[in-house]
Structure 1
Amino acid sequence: MFYSFIFILFFFNQVKTKSIVSINREANKIIKYVNNIPNNTWKAGFNFKSKQLKEIENIMGVLPINEKYTQSLEDLGFAIHHNSNNILDKDFNEIEVLPENFDASKQWSKCKSILSVKNQSNCGSCWALSTASVFSDRICIATNGSIDNNLSGEYLLSCCTGSCGRGCNGGHPEKAWKFIINNGICTGGDYGSNEGCQPYSIAPSAVELSFENTADTPECYHTCTNPHYTTPLQNDLYFASKVYTVKPKMKPIMYEIYKNGPVVAAMKTYEDFFHYKSGIYQYKTGSSKGDHAIKLIGWGEENGMLYWLAVNTWGTLWGMDGIFKIKRGSNECGIESRISGGLPKL
């Protein structure tokens, strides 16, 4: 009996080892393929360990939408394909000329939140973290830097379940915005920061951590979870006055960022994106792994190619210290098809 147990243990360990070897081989294959494409616009390298790559689709946290979902948003009073300044399609070619390069972190340099890179860890919370991050930026911008707080993705993640989605198993950025207009959002920094009312409670992914088991969605608290923070939650809430999606075209999105600050974008992810290191990303190889929410903070042009400047939620060890560029103007990976934002109620 003892020897049978040892054999079974050995067998499963061998299967697991072979699986990891296979994943490493596939990752190396993708990286080599991307880096050997002539005149390719981006470089690939290792960002995740094999254990994480095995089940990485578990942290792609944006739930899909359909016509019924869009109608439900309209019924809730969510403005669809709206721009905050009520600019019509025909007017976009007539408005002030937008700059060729724009970086919200430089335009509004007082707002340190713009370059704050979140780490969702083994939780599909990108929909909550990106929305909270964008609203943090927009409050700072609207107040000319006088309010530069990190707002709590934790609060959205834990308290906007059901109506927003399934917590660590995914959610809808649009409904997170609707939650903010109705319920507000409190302050809260990164894991272990002791910043704000409800800091993120899920520890950053260690290199040995697998994404096979998605983290449990944190419990919703209507009090501050940070014992060092003295402001009661009810006095710490920030509300939106208007929430909306932006028309899925390049100029309206640029105009929105230029006038009001960063926006939330949902994009489709593929295997090669996990290995992004630098340059302007375009999909090259690998299977689809799900939808993911990020923050668009600007745009530019490099060697004749237009790009969006974006902030991811996978920590600073991924990409260019957590930041990436992606091809602009052709809806690369659906990056221009699902844009949302909101204006603060001051």
Structure 2
Amino acid sequence: MTRRMSTAFGFLIWLILGFISSSSQVEASTTHHQLLHTSIVDQINRDPTAGWRATLNPGFSNYTSAQFKRLLGVKKPTPQYHLGSIPILTHPKSLKLPSNFDARTVWSHCTTIATILGHGHCGSCWAFGAVEALSDRFCIHFRMNISLSVNDLLACCGFMCGDGCDGGYPIAAWRYLVRNGVVTDKCDPYFDDAGCSHPGCEPAFPTPKCEKKCKGKNQIWEESKHFSVNAYRISSDPHDIMTEIYQNGPVEVSFTVYEDFAYYKSGVYKHVTGDVMGGHAVKLIGWGTTKEGEDYWLLANQWNRSWGDDGFFKIRRGTNECGIEDDVVAGLPSTKNLIRKYSDGGAKSDDV
């Protein structure tokens, strides 16, 4: 190799190493900087077209962008092998729906609908949305006030649902509820109800191990299982989504989260500023229209009650804001395992 060629080759290597170094620095600066900034709050609250109020939500006070992304556990897009056999439901347009609907008041005897949980420092929203909605539907259809186990689904579904705390697929969660069911939360409580809110949380908590054994005494894993009859998607037409909730109860939805969503306090959210952070799953429980005439969806989040409007939020309805109407999934509760036969020929109802 001539001296000129050697010099040129060395210069090329220097350029490549410099590019890699600068790229790493950019990535680090965009993922590990502090999540919340007062300038964003001011920008949103001074915007008369925003339609919602922002705040420095205390639960994220010490979070970096990387830690926030960890909470967003919906993998996108959903692989075709998960969707191929899943029906897409539509409903007749003849049903007259109310202009405002809140599942918390319509089914006020169902305590799980109004319950706000926290999934800690784990991207398990995909599992929470499914289990919460199925718990609600057991009460709505069978008048059973039960809290089902997110931990069972998160730990035991395995690669079929995704990667546990590193994210999963909502429709795969519902397929697990059909095939395997989930035990009650008393049998297998969630592994982390506190989370991690101080600097240096990474690496985040790993996915819990699947033990298939009740933590509480006098409980049997197999007998504690509760199932879904089916798993289906709902058409993205808002009327179909509203009808499904009106007739059967809350559903699970997933959407794209931008940086400004972390600041939500009240009002009807729509994206104003910030980059894409990831996919998130929540429970959709109703709808309405503001005094100003803006249609919205009403949803329950899993970031504890310190976030948003006491844990709940509204998002613009009818315009597919952040893809909120694209991926709506659900299933109906099953009577399987609720009636057990005993050797004396009698039967007894499940007492959970």
Answer yes or no: same fold by TM over 0.5: yes
Pick closer, same or farther for the CA change 1:51–1:126 going to 2, 3 Å.
same
1:306 corresponds to: 295
Matches within 5 A, 1:270-281: 270-281=258-269
2:350 corresponds to: none
1:78 corresponds to: 86
Matches within 5 A, 1:102-117: 102-117=101-116
Pick closer, same or farther for the CA change 1:251–1:214 going to 2, 3 Å.
same
Amino acid at match of 1:307: Y
State the distance in 2 between where 1:114 and 1:329 align.
23
Asked if structure 2 preserves the Cα contact closer than 8 Å seen for 1:129 and 1:154, the reply is: no
Amino acid at match of 1:261: G
State the distance in 2 between where 1:211 and 1:245 align.
36
Amino acid at match of 1:340: V
Pick closer, same or farther for the CA change 1:99–1:135 going to 2, 3 Å.
same
Q: Deviations over 1:311-335 (max 9, x none)?
A: 0011111001110000000000000
| Distance apart, 1:109 and its partner CA | 0.8
Amino acid at match of 2:188: Q
Matches within 5 A, 1:12-31: 23=33, 27-31=37-41
Q: TM-score, normalised by structure 1?
A: 0.84
* Percent of residue pairs identical: 37
Pick closer, same or farther for the CA change 1:25–1:166 going to 2, 3 Å.
closer
Secondary structure at the aligned position of 2:171 is classed as helix
Asked if structure 2 preserves the Cα contact closer than 8 Å seen for 1:56 and 1:211, the reply is: no
Q: Deviations over 1:148-194 (max 9, x none)?
A: 11111111100011100000000001001000100111111xxxxxx
State the distance in 2 between where 1:213 and 1:44 align.
29
Q: TM-score, normalised by structure 2?
A: 0.82
| Distance apart, 1:115 and its partner CA | 1.1
Matches within 5 A, 1:43-122: 43-47=53-57, 48-65=60-77, 69-74=79-84, 77-79=85-87, 81-83=88-90, 87=91, 91-92=92-93, 95-122=94-121
Pick closer, same or farther for the CA change 1:209–1:161 going to 2, 3 Å.
farther
| Distance apart, 1:210 and its partner CA | 5.0
Any stretches of 5+ residues in structure 2 without a counterpart? 1-28, 336-352
Asked if structure 1 preserves the Cα contact closer than 8 Å seen for 2:35 and 2:65, the reply is: no
Asked if structure 2 preserves the Cα contact closer than 8 Å seen for 1:306 and 1:327, the reply is: yes
State the distance in 2 between where 1:63 and 1:151 align.
23
Secondary structure at the aligned position of 1:55 is classed as helix
Any stretches of 5+ residues in structure 1 without a counterpart? 1-18, 189-195
2:26 corresponds to: none
Pick closer, same or farther for the CA change 1:102–1:209 going to 2, 3 Å.
farther
1:336 corresponds to: 325
1:127 corresponds to: 126
Aligned alpha-carbon RMSD (Å) = 2.1
Matches within 5 A, 1:1-346: 23=33, 27-47=37-57, 48-65=60-77, 69-74=79-84, 77-79=85-87, 81-83=88-90, 87=91, 91-92=92-93, 95-143=94-142, 145=143, 147-188=144-185, 196-208=186-198, 212-225=202-215, 227=216, 229-302=217-290, 303-346=292-335
State the distance in 2 between where 1:26 and 1:257 align.
34
| Distance apart, 1:338 and its partner CA | 0.2
State the distance in 1 between where 2:235 and 2:163 align.
26
Secondary structure at the aligned position of 2:168 is classed as coil
Figure out how many residues of one structure are paired with residues of the other and give that number.
Answer: 305
Q: Deviations over 1:190-236 (max 9, x none)?
A: xxxxxx111111132354255532211001011112x3x42211111
Asked if structure 2 preserves the Cα contact closer than 8 Å seen for 1:58 and 1:211, the reply is: no
**Which structure has the bigger radius of gyration?**
2
Secondary structure at the aligned position of 2:104 is classed as helix
